[in-house]
Structure 1
Amino acid sequence: MNVFNTLNIPAANAICYSGFREGQQPGGVYPNYHEIKEDLEILSSSWKYLRLYDCDKHAQTVLEVIQKENFDFKIMLGSYIVAEMNNFGCPWGGGIYSEEELQENRIKNQNQIEKLINWANTYSDIIFSTSVGNEACVDWTDHYVPVDRVVEFVKMVKQNTKQPVTFCENYVPWLTKLKPLTEVVDFISIHTYPVWEYKHIHESLEYTKQNYYAVANTYPNIPVVITEAGWATNSNGKGIHPENVSEENQKIYYNDLITWSTQEKILTFFFEAFDENWKGSPEPLEPEKHWGLFKIDRTPKLVMQNETITQKINV
């Protein structure tokens, strides 16, 4: 079952967008109106759907630019929820907070969900769906939120908005611990990253298919969307083998993924539009910095050079 048939979402290309440039980062310097307009002009020729991660200053500017400049984009707007529970299993040592911090986070999350509701109603002509969080239930997260709390958020948003509501998470938790969420979301949103799981480029699409169908076959009556799938172009060797990432491999994965998801009518948000240097460690080859189809200076990587993206999904 695909999302278009049940939610009446028109077919179109989709991509994850975060517009932080050199020297910018969440909580610090944000992209200005002109910079975001420039980004949207780059993306407008190839994509219709953008995924935004948080109800922050960045997202607000994106919505304002789309509205004032009459860009033909529709937004999946997320609310980035932070830790409400310690996760002692976080592999990089994050996820540990005092009880006072956790209580403050619960208040922050409540406020974020209320902002998500407000913006979904204010920009109802632009926002086509909402997500109450991102990777907050997977075992390795540093911002763990209990599943029953996420269920509360979904119910709250559904009661106060008209758009379909989801939660974005790695494919693995959907198979087990997120079963209560499947009873309240309008569609399931999964993330699949073969390169993080040490898959070679030539087995990457098959692995993504396995991830997708594992979830889709478990819940045959619920639409499943891919809200993140991508391929890094650099690595310092931490978590991803350097020999397995390149612009050539990114192009192979992108083209294979788009061909398959188009044929199967699966809404797929490619991760991501632009490189983001603020992410991960200070090391220049930190893989978190290198997932964009465009570099930090907005020049196209190999897959976007002399390419016209023609992904169309016929309902």
Structure 2
Amino acid sequence: MKNSLFTYVFCGLILVLSSCKNEVKSKESSGLQQKTEVKLTAKDILGNPKYLAISYGGYRAKSRTIQPTIAQLKEDLKLLHAMGIRIIRTYNVQTQYPHASNVLEAIHQLKKEDDSFEMYVMLGAWIDCLNAWTDKAPNHNEESPQNEGEIERAVVLANKYPDIVKIIAVGNEAMVNWAASYYVQPKVILKWVNHLQQLKKDGKLSKDLWITSSDDFSSWGGGPDSYRTEDLRQLIRAVDYVSMHTYPYHNTHYNSDFWTTPEADKKLSKQEIVDKAMVRALNFAKNQYENVSEYVKSIDSTKSIHIGESGWATVSNGHYGFNGSRATDEYKQGLYYKSMRDWTNKNQISCFYFEAFDEQWKDAKNENGSENHFGLFTLKGEAKYPIWDLVDEGTFANLKRDGHPIKKTFNGNIDMLLSTVNLPNTDYKK
């Protein structure tokens, strides 16, 4: 009887302990599940060095009418994910170019296939003036009737993929006057930013979705006073953050004082001269950032400023090549990429580096035009100098682009790469 009672009590105790253990496991499992399902917002990821950002276009062909497939987009996204990219930027949701919606679907599928895959999107809505891209004169004081549909499509996609779309950018370089084919006045951008903010208030968009416009530093008050209008001031107050562009690369031609080699540096080695030129290039970008920050903070001290674009091309037969400013090559791109990442990460600034892959549609009739060659990867998926170290580390092992394993440009031969490097053209007359 005693043995039976002991056995009964002992078995009961085992059941209780087992139940408690299962409950703990259940709570731990639930906690893990909650951890993986935490819904990060733009506020959480922007400025966070663990969430590197990049501008992405997956186009392979010379025309955007040939769209990359979902499978091709997934290949690209796996490469970007492997190198630590967690936020990508797209540019339009035009019906004839379903690239952005396909990118979102590709991310959605990758997340279903792999719980560890994490990627977010800054979704661009393209904004034009009246008569943009037509044979009629652009009317910069009136907007294109197409803009309304573009905004509506962005809203639909943000609501369809709320776990992926964290930012909507109204327009790309849509306020800067040198965008002569299509730019609009700030009042147009302000109208649509306010519209989206109202949708958030009305519960028709997530309250955590951030709204901005991505534009040249001058358009955000960092340049000529002519941009500093009342509409711009209202826009600064209306956006959730400011997305500014800075391109020292282009300014080696348009504003080249910083690119000139100081007399004292001309006695240095070729590599030392180039290295110091790229330090000046980074300082040029920093200065533009500070100019924007100073003006924006004078309007709204709470507003954060991130970099929507900055990059360096590796090929140019125009203003930036051998007969121009000689800014163009992979070595200089590598120095700029590394220093830009270091500076922005240290200062909690997101930089949507321009760009992930070369795209040949941008200057389709000119193979060696610089606009085709801003990528960190070539069209065939070769890793350019800025990310050679990632190839060495095995980051891209078993990953491909269009059937091509990821290899280094120049076969990884640094001497061969350096032989393509030209000194800044101090005698260049633009």
TM-score range, shorter chain: 0.7 to 0.9
Distance 1:5 1:72 in 2: 13
Equivalent of 1:197 in 243, 251, 266? 251
- The CA deviation at 1:297 is 1.2
CA contact (8 A) 2:131 2:137 kept: no
- Pairs within 5 Å for 1:230-245: 230-238=311-319, 241=324, 243-245=326-328
Distance 1:21 1:272 in 2: 14
CA contact (8 A) 2:42 2:210 kept: no
**Counterpart residue number, 2:291:** 214
Identify the structure with the greater helix proportion. 2
Q: Count matched residues.
A: 297
SS in 1 for 2:67: coil
- 1:147-167 Cα shifts (integer Å, max 9, x gaps): 111101001111222301000
Letter in 2 for 1:18: G
Equivalent of 1:295 in 365, 370, 378? 378
Letter in 1 for 2:125: S
**Counterpart residue number, 1:91:** none
CA contact (8 A) 2:42 2:166 kept: no
Structure 1 unaligned spans of 5+: 87-93, 311-315
Do residues 9 (structure 1) and 33 (structure 2) align? no
- CA 1:181/1:309 → structure 2, altered by over 3 Å: closer, same or farther? farther
Distance 1:305 1:190 in 2: 28
SS in 2 for 1:8: helix
CA contact (8 A) 1:170 1:191 kept: yes
Distance 2:210 2:358 in 1: 29
Letter in 2 for 1:48: R
SS in 2 for 1:168: strand
SS in 2 for 1:196: helix
Structure 2 unaligned spans of 5+: 1-39, 112-116, 200-204, 222-227, 253-258, 260-276, 396-430
Letter in 2 for 1:112: E
**Counterpart residue number, 2:388:** 305
- Pairs within 5 Å for 1:10-159: 11=48, 12-25=51-64, 28-46=65-83, 47-56=85-94, 57-70=98-111, 71-84=117-130, 97=136, 106-141=144-179, 142-159=181-198
- The CA deviation at 1:252 is 0.2
- 1:194-242 Cα shifts (integer Å, max 9, x gaps): 0101144331100010010111122222110101011110111236636
CA contact (8 A) 1:22 1:296 kept: no
Do residues 227 (structure 1) and 227 (structure 2) align? no
Do residues 182 (structure 1) and 221 (structure 2) align? no
Letter in 2 for 1:15: I
CA contact (8 A) 1:79 1:112 kept: yes
Q: TM-score, with normalisation over the residues of structure 2?
A: 0.65
Distance 2:217 2:379 in 1: 28
CA contact (8 A) 1:75 1:127 kept: yes
Distance 2:138 2:249 in 1: 36
- The CA deviation at 1:98 is 5.3
SS in 1 for 2:313: coil
CA contact (8 A) 2:313 2:328 kept: yes
- The CA deviation at 1:172 is 0.7
Larger deviation, residues 34-43 vs 16-25: 16-25
SS in 2 for 1:78: strand
- The CA deviation at 1:6 is 9.4
**Counterpart residue number, 2:219:** 173
Distance 1:116 1:214 in 2: 31
Distance 1:133 1:85 in 2: 16
Distance 1:227 1:116 in 2: 18
Letter in 1 for 2:184: V
Do residues 279 (structure 1) and 279 (structure 2) align? no
SS in 1 for 2:326: helix
Q: TM-score, with normalisation over the residues of structure 1?
A: 0.87
**Counterpart residue number, 1:265:** 348
- The CA deviation at 1:95 is 8.0
- CA 1:210/1:5 → structure 2, altered by over 3 Å: closer, same or farther? farther
- CA 1:37/1:5 → structure 2, altered by over 3 Å: closer, same or farther? closer
- 1:107-165 Cα shifts (integer Å, max 9, x gaps): 21100011111111111110111101101110111211221111010011112223010
CA contact (8 A) 1:85 1:145 kept: no
Letter in 2 for 1:158: Q
- CA 1:68/1:301 → structure 2, altered by over 3 Å: closer, same or farther? same
Distance 1:205 1:234 in 2: 20
CA RMSD of aligned residues (A): 2.6
SS in 1 for 2:163: coil
- The CA deviation at 1:29 is 1.0
